[in-house]
Amino acid sequence: DTAVSQTPKYLVTQMGNDKSIKCEQNLGHDTMYWYKQDSKKFLKIMFSYNNKELIINETVPNRFSPKSPDKAHLNLHINSLELGDSAVYFCASSLGTDTKNIQYFGAGTRLSVL
């Protein structure tokens, strides 16, 4: 079984559309994250939730809204998509927020905005 799974794996859409990416982890972890990897391969953290509460909220356009219905799920909704949103989005999870807790990553969702 995949530990951290994201759907869809690929997403191609037009500018201005609204889309969602889903993430689920079956590791029993309390903390989940969203990262964006741009064309230069930099991985940057966007959000982190611990026990369904938002604890990290980086400088991200408010068109991006994370939602955590329960500890095992963290979804990312993006409104009014722009060309610059094209990237690979990774979900990750860890046991908790302590640095000793390893982050496990999903396989990524490649978003292409046309």
Residues near another protein (CB under 8 A) are 4, 31, 40-45, 48, 55-56, 90, 92, 94, 96-108
Query: Which residue number, 31 or 68, has a Cβ lying nearer to another protein?
Result: 31
Query: Rounded CA gap, 18 and 34, in Å?
Result: 18
Min dist CB 34 to another protein, Å, is 12
Paired tokens of 56? 């990290």
Minimum CB distance to another protein smaller for 20 or for 97: 97
Cβ 80 to another protein shortest distance, Å: 27
Closer Cβ to another protein, 9 or 80, answer by number: 9
95: left (phi over 0), alpha (psi -120 to 50) or beta: alpha
Residues for the chain: how many in total?
Answer: 114
Shortest reach from residue 16's CB to another protein, in Å: 28
Name all contacts of 63-67 with Cβ < 8 Å and 24+ positions apart: 66/34
